[in-house]
Structure 1
Amino acid sequence: VQKGSEMRSNRVVEFPEDFWIPIPLDTDNISSLSPFLVPQDHLGNSGTFYAMAGFTFFLFVVGTSINTLTIVCTMRYKKLRSHLNYILVNLAVANLLVSVVGSFTTCFSFTFRYFIFGPLACKIEGFVATLGGMVSLWSLAVVAFERWLVICKPLGNVAFKPEHAMACCAITWIFALTASVPPLLGWSRYIPEGLQCSCGPDWYTTNNKYNNESYVMFLFCFCFAAPFTTIIFCYSQLLVTLKMVAKAQAESASTQKAEKEVTRMVVVMVLGFLVCWMPYASFALWVVNNRGQKFDLRLATLPSCLSKASTVYNPVIYVFLNKQFRSCMRKMLGMSGGDEEESSASQSVTEVSKVGPS
């Protein structure tokens, strides 16, 4: 694709500014297939659209519920207002943004089999989903950095205070805005992606007007490779520290238990990150580096939906598996076992706090 057009059988077919789709060779009137006007049945059967509608409806309901619960629970219980939990709430806010705007809009569009809200709503949905996703990615990196700073103590006994956590949260939003605003200003653009029922940055075209390739490379380096490298470095250092302590205190059952629990959590966190974000990043890079190669847009839809699934897995891993958070949530919902679990959580926190280079 060059300058908004595509060569098909020695014919140049002009594309509108607000979308791009693979078109049949015998199609001249591209507007007749607009994802803002007609169902995109030429891209997939009804079963595929309805299956994706069901999946995104699940993400909307579950993601909205658990992230809202996380925020409300933190506001209600002062004991949860620690520096680490501030970052988790920041993560929940970003997830809630993606769930309410991204997952809901996508679910509605898949139900009708095209993006019924129009070009302006597409830009808004693409921007909000990208903004929330980038805040989420950088929040995960901040959580890893905080754990490394507190447990490994690379700066000695320097404390990570609530004001530091709030500053880090502000930085995640600054970074996210740096990544999500450019398409609104002309560096790339937000258009329907995959089966044309959700919107995101333009990975598909080599439009010189928008410099899409440079934007994709910027996103990959700044918003995937950088936070992922931070996560891998911090958690690898954390595991090394824990193993050293566990080896030095081989007779301590509590230390051995803490080491195993943290190791398991780190593995789950990294795998969850990769499952949700690696397909999206890999797909974008493949498209940019394989211009002209055919690809199935049904498969191109999956990376986008998997990235939205982070709104569910993030709170499950970082919040619901946090005993203190889970205890307060159970108590708030009137479920039994909260007090016993809170006692266990306090003991666990005490055990982990003892783990360090000293």
Structure 2
Amino acid sequence: MKHGRVTEIPEDFWIPIPLDTDNITSLSPFLVPQDHLASSCTYHVMALFMFFIFTVGSFINVLTIACTIQHKKLWSHLNYILVNLAVSNFLVSCVGPFTACCSFAFKYFIMGPLACRIEGFIATLGGMVSLWSLAVIAFERWLVICKPLGNFIFKPDHAIACCAFTWVFALCAAVPPLCGWSRYIPEGLQCSCGPDWYTTNNKYNNESYVMFLFGFCFAVPFSTIVFCYGQLLIMLKMAAKAQAESASTQKAEREVTRMVVVMVLGFLVCWLPYASYALWVVNNRGQTFDLRFASVPSVFSKSSAVYNCVIYIVLNKQFRSCMMKMLGMGGGEDDESSTTSSVTEVSKVGPA
């Protein structure tokens, strides 16, 4: 699909204008269906997918929060961070996918410019809290298992401080577009809103904001995750080598290796498409790109509200057991996740 010139309108959105169209106001994504961007089938498929993310993501995250409130055995420092992740994922799943579902169903952003800014802000805030929570979880695992600080004990107070840290950093990323550094506008097929990484209007300094997001909100957390889990894998390799005869140690190494691979891949699936696509657009101004593909990064970032929970919470035996009890599906195992237990066992041979 080829689009014509990109025209900026002195409001809160931009749209690619077909070459044979002069009345740009008639194509406002807040007023009329955006049939010139994609087929009705594309919009309806996206609406169904957003409805799936909204229902499943909201349900899993609410269940996680309710389980933690009800079961005191879940009140541990690591689980505080997991609940923080669930709260941020709930924000993303109940706001972003819901408004996107409604908009895709009507093929334009039916809720207007103010709702667009609200959705963009909340989705960005929740997404950044989620992203930094993943980095905090990796950092916590590194401190507890690899013990770089010796006998330092990671306590619930530290976990609460780390959770507060994620919200402060998320606000640093989500507030600027409300204050004139970039802005929140319809993106992709114009049915969901996010930071402006399309236009070149110097009034909003979009390029510098995108570079800030890429460095501060993607590269730094990702580097933290890779470093911490990398150190964890190195320690486990050393432990497995030292205890080559121990079946439990070898099993722990395999489990944690799989866990780390899944966590890193999950992070990349969530955020790499958005970060890389935005960076490409910023550094290739004037290049033609299809807005149907520009919607893909936004969809992946919103769907993180589902698979973040699957990776970090549902696969935890302790959380899974409590969830099954709340749903009336019988008991379950009351122990910690097998991976965490195995890792703790292996860590005994690590640094003191």
Runs of 4 or more above 6 Å deviation: none
Deviations 1:135-156 (A, max 9, x none): 0000000000000000000000
Following TM superposition, by how much is the alpha carbon of 1:346 offset from its aligned partner in structure 2, in angstroms?
A: 7.2
Mapped contact 2:7–2:17 kept (Cα < 8 A):
no
Deviations 1:24-66 (A, max 9, x none): 1232221100000000000000000000001111000100000
Matched, 1:223 2:217: yes
Residue by residue over 1:217-243, the C-alpha shift from the partner in whole angstroms, topping out at 9 and shown as x without a partner, is 000000000000000000000000011
CA distances 1:130-177 after superposition (whole Å, capped 9, x unpaired)? 000000000000000000000000000100000000000000000000
Deviation at 1:336, TM superposition (A): 2.6
For residue 310 of structure 2, what is the amino acid of its counterpart? V
1:135 matches 2:126:
no
Quote the sequence identity (%). Answer: 77
**2:140 maps to amino acid:** E
Structure 2 residue identity aligned to 1:271 = L
The one of 334, 339, 346 aligned to 2:328: 334
Moved more, 263-272 or 12-21: 12-21
Q: How many residues are aligned here?
A: 346
Which 10-residue stretch deviates more, 309-318 or 345-354? 345-354
Q: Does 1:28 pair with 2:19? A: no
Q: Is the contact made by 1:13 and 1:28 (CA closer than 8 Å) also made in structure 2?
A: no
| Structure 2 partner of 1:318 | 312
**RMSD between aligned alpha carbons?**
1.5
Residues 1:187 and 2:181 are matched in the alignment = yes
TM-score by length of 1: 0.94
12-21 vs 117-126, greater mean Cα deviation: 12-21
Residues 27 and 331 of structure 1, relative CA distance in 2, 3 Å threshold? same
Distance 2:58 2:10 in 1: 34
TM-score (norm 2): 0.96
In the aligned structure 1, how far is the partner of 2:275 from the partner of 2:340? 36
1:317 alignment partner, SS class? helix
1:1-358 equivalences in 2 (<5 Å): 15-338=9-332, 341-343=333-335, 345=336, 349-356=340-347, 357-358=350-351
Unaligned runs of 5+ in 2: none
Secondary structure class of the residue paired with 1:354: helix
CA contact (8 A) 2:7 2:14 kept: no
Structure 1 position 348, deviation (Å): 6.0
Say if 2:313 and 2:320, in contact at 8 Å, map to a contact too. Answer: yes
CA distance in 2: counterparts of 1:64 and 1:26, whole angstroms: 43
Question: Which letter maps to 2:112?
Answer: G
Residue identity opposite 2:209 in structure 1: Y
Which moves more between the two structures, 131-140 or 348-357? 348-357
Conservation of the 8 A alpha-carbon contact between 1:14 and 1:30: no
User: Which consecutive unaligned segments of at least 5 residues does structure 1 have?
Assistant: 1-6
C-alpha distance in 1 between matches for 2:21 and 2:168: 44
Distance 1:88 1:206 in 2: 38
